Amino acid sequence: MSDTLALEFAYQAVVAQFTADGVVCAQPFGWAKSGAHLTGPRIVWVPGDPTGAAGTITGAMNVGSIPKPLFTFNEAFYVIISGYGDEATPTDELKAWKITRLLHDQWMRAMELNLKGMYKLVRQDWVRAGERDYVRFGTALIVVASIQSAVLDTTATGPITEVYPGAEILVHELDYTETVIVPPHPPPPPEPTPTP
């Protein structure tokens, strides 16, 4: 059984497709990355929809599989696709729109080639410069989707029991952005063995 979840697989497949096609575009993943200011063409992947909804649970698919699927989690996610013209003309809206649209089309192509039938597009919204924290200038297109992820009849091993998380916090103050990194906490010491 693979430890890779459906959204993780989608992310890895699309990043790999962009690399194979020679398309240069940063693709960070996570909630903290969604509020970072635009620094070039990028696609930010964020779990859940923009309101925070995680998705819906439906009946199991492929019920003859091992381990047995119990449910299907239609996991919501969204991507913020953004771009701007170039260093010389960062506020040129025609260039910004075109780059954003081309990145959108490339993202759609990568999703379809690698995940056909596994995802569903929910909605797409343009965000103009200054409307939200996503862009200071240029354009951004938010694409909300869901991906089918099996909830399996198996016990968790590995990653859940071995993670001692740290944190990466993005701090914005006017035009200054700083990342604060808190290292992972060391694992707890083993329980002492009782002496007889």
> Would you say residue 150 lies in a domain?
yes
* DSSP assignment string, the chain: -----HHHHHHHHHHHHHHHHT---B--BSHHHHTSPP-SSEEEEEES-TT---EEEEE-SSTTSSSPEEEEEEEEEEEEEEE-S-SS-TT-HHHHHHHHHHHHHHHHHHHHHHHTTTEEEEEEEEEETTTSTT-SSSEEEEEEEEEEEEEESS---THHHH----EEEEEEETTEEEEEEEPPPPPPPPPPPPP-
93-115 helix and 6-21 helix, angle to the nearest 10 degrees: 120
pLDDT value of position 14: 96
Residue at 174 is within a domain: no
| 75 located within any domain | yes
The parent domain of residue 125 ranges over 6-163
48 belongs to a structural domain = yes
Task: List residues bridging with 44 in a β-sheet.
Answer: 80
Split into its structural domains, the chain has a count of: 1
pLDDT of residue 56: 93
Asked whether residue 171 is assigned to any structural domain, the reply reads no
23 located within any domain:
yes
Q: What is the pLDDT, as a whole number, of residue 84? A: 74
Consecutive sets of 10 residues in the chain, 196 residues long: mean pLDDT of each? 82 96 92 65 92 91 79 94 76 84 96 95 83 63 94 68 58 68 63 70
Query: Does the residue 176 lie in any domain?
Result: no
Find out whether 155 and 13 touch, Cβ atoms under 8 Å: no
Q: What is the pLDDT of residue 64?
A: 73
Here the CATH number for the domain that contains residue 30 is 3.30.2000.10
Residue 182 lies in a domain: no
> pTM here?
0.74
